[in-house]
Amino acid sequence: MKKTLVFTLVFLVVAGALFAAGAREADQQVYRLRTSTNLAASGTVGRALQYFVDDVNESSGGRINATANFGSELGTQREQVEMAQTGSLEMVVASPPSALAAYVPQLQALNIPYILRDEEHFVRVLNSLEDEISRLLAPHNFVAVGGQNMGFRHMLVRRRPVYEPADLRGLQMRGPNPVYVEMFESLGASGVTTDWTDVYTSLQTGVIDGMEASPDMIYSMRFQEQAEYLSKTFHIAASVFYFFNREWYEALPSDLQDIVMESARKAAAYQNRIDLEAQEESMQKMIDEGVTVNEVNDLSEFARLTAPMVESFRARGPEWADFIDKIQAIQ
């Protein structure tokens, strides 16, 4: 009886020691977190990504080694998304309508023109849709968090200012995905998709007559050097999310999962806070450098011509209608 008791006690001590050693080993394991964006480090999304990386490294006490790549150092946005899906990257900063629509097409509905009222409304939409976007992308090995507003977008044109839709006739205008192409065609222009990294040379060589983006995005890439007119159309507010490789994220200890999520949301809040100021600063810098900036004559005319896009996209299928309903339900 005594021998049995002694053996049991010894077993429990050894098992406890092994468990403690295993726990210590798990605590000491360093997880690699490689992140990337196709945007410049100097823009608000780039600054937020650096904020995220620094916060993860500090908050994890070195248990996560996070690094960032900027400006398409690792390839195009589409290539970076594919890397994140397969695990060559642990996280990519990407636009849902442009970069994730290959997996969930209805994400393009976020880019329907004039569906959003203002920046505050858009941030509420992004925060409210985080779980839904993660749910839709879960089968494709992504977890979405940290929606960021990149500002309302305007049209930058080489030939002439845009005051009304008729001024777009005959122009070849770049957009990042088919929603923008349909918008330009609704307004009388020819819409084309061109990779973000090719926009500068496409403007320079006249392959495209213009493009559209927020002031900070334009200025961070120096596109205004190749086009002299910026017309304030406020047609779409673009966004990015942090898309984590789902397998990598779910393999993290729960406390590190919490740190990653908290850091992502802190970085998103930081980006959303600094973006309005950055948009104003970039707009003023372009004016100072000689870009002609103008208001359009009647924004409601642009909205009227693109309004049928809501129903045309809703008609693509019940999954499209459901996602558009979710967007429009957020006040």
**Cα(236)–Cα(213) distance, integer angstroms:** 9
pLDDT score at 20: 45
**Cα(303)–Cα(164) distance, integer angstroms:** 11
pLDDT score at 6: 44
pLDDT score at 173: 98
**Cα(310)–Cα(17) distance, integer angstroms:** 63
Low-confidence ranges of the chain (pLDDT < 70): 1-27
Tokens of 9: 């006690």
pLDDT score at 238: 87
pLDDT score at 1: 52
pLDDT score at 18: 43
Backbone angles phi, psi at 210, to 5 degrees: -170, 175
HEC string for 273-324: HHHHHHHHHHHHHHHHCCCEEEECCCHHHHHHHHCHHHHHHHCCCHHHHHHH
Q: What is the pLDDT of residues 270-320, one digit of tens each?
A: 999 999 899 999 999 999 999 999 999 999 999 999 999 999 999 999 999
pLDDT score at 13: 44
DSSP-derived secondary structure for 90-143: SEEEE-HHHHSTTT-GGGGGGG-TT---SHHHHHHHHHHHHHHHHHHHGGGTEE
118: left (phi over 0), alpha (psi -120 to 50) or beta: beta
Contacts of 134 (CB under 8 A, 6+ apart): 142, 143, 144, 145
Residue at token pair 């403007």: 203
Domain ranges of the chain: 2-328
pLDDT score at 12: 45
Q: Which of 62, 52, 129, 59 is nearest to 97 (CA)?
A: 129
CA distance to 1, 11, 19, 20, 180, per residue, from 8 (Å) = 11, 5, 16, 18, 71
Q: What is the pLDDT of residues 119-161, one digit of tens each?
A: 889 999 999 999 999 999 999 999 999 999 988 999 999 989 9
**Cα(127)–Cα(130) distance, integer angstroms:** 5
Domain 2-328: CATH architecture, name and number where available:
3-Layer(aba) Sandwich (3.40)
- The pTM is what? 0.81
